[in-house]
A and B are shown apart, each in its own frame.
Chain A
């Protein structure tokens, strides 16, 4: 007589609690990064993908290289830790606060070459990470402080596309600012 046995397989997913749930992000150059879902959801873009049920196993990020993605993940991890175990929500804006302990960390974080800074801005915008966008934009604004238009062009390798007449017109409009 055959006896039957029943085995119960409990899915790992059912056992996992939300805080340790992972998600895999794939960079434009094919590298995969496994991160806590709560960290990944510092990005509003990723948050919407997950919530819309489109995540599957991997989330491709064709606009972000592995080098930049690893930095972005580092930022999100650090800021998620600082925010504690609270529900993933809009990233707290920390870069300007002098009383926030993350200010120093943020300052070091953006001490990068110009190309990296540029890519971080684009990534922050694409991934919709408010704190990172604010931090990187403030860094750019600080780089422009007190400079003349020509000095800014040189700093950022921007070509002067004004004709001499147009440039004279621009200067005339706010003469005092150019002195």
Chain B
């Protein structure tokens, strides 16, 4: 056995402490069996916990989460079916509870979960696959490069269930107006702001960026499907002139 493969676990452990990039740490664990033993002892589990400096694995029935938010001290996440899970911590045990089930309308896709003021809201984004005729009308040159575009949003608020026999503790209720709030949604975490506090930010609007994974397969990447949706008149306007296209990192919000 090579000397380096035979190093004491204690020394290998010291070496891993000096590895600053997680990828390099994973690669370390793949070099040989003795190194992997040390890697397995030191690798983190899956989720962060407030006050803890290690990742904790959280068991959950759902696997595809679209967004997560901290609401009244608890992590809440919405999955691709519109179901909301709340993360509970009981001593050393961390588990999730599904607090609502959502039947999503056919032509809408769950976008994000957002927490603002004391409400818990969900946006559903309507995207349509554009056929070539419609895209020609939009004046696009390379119509085969644009397979989708957002045409609308629906905003729902989570409220305590009023139905006596409802199986849900909470229900989704339609929201017609965001009031002074502006929502920012897209491929990264969503957030809301008070529009009156930010010069140039329009109230009762949803600012969105491209979050359709289809762009990974398209010719020039993602970044076409972006704009500002007005809740008042249900129209979409562009943020800015020009395009920001990328196959791996289309524009996201940085606030």
Contacts and interface: CB of A to CB of B under 8 A. Distances in A.
Interface of A: 118, 121-122, 125, 133-134, 137-138, 140-142, 144-149, 152-153, 156-162, 167, 170-171, 174, 176-178
Contacts, number: 79
A109 B30 CA distance: 30
B29 A170 contact: yes
B4 A144 contact: no
A158 B27 contact: no
11 contacts: A137-B14, A137-B17, A141-B15, A144-B24, A156-B4, A157-B2, A160-B32, A162-B33, A167-B30, A170-B36, A178-B30
B8 interface: yes
B12 to A, nearest CB: 9
A170 B28 CA distance: 11
A144 B25 CA distance: 9
B33 A161 contact: yes
A148 B26 CA distance: 10
B32 A141 contact: no
Interface of B: 1-5, 7-8, 10-11, 14-24, 26-33, 36
A21 to B, nearest CB: 31
A170 B19 contact: no
A145 B27 CA distance: 9
A24 to B, nearest CB: 28
B11 A125 contact: yes
Contact of B15 (A140, A146, A161, A162): A140
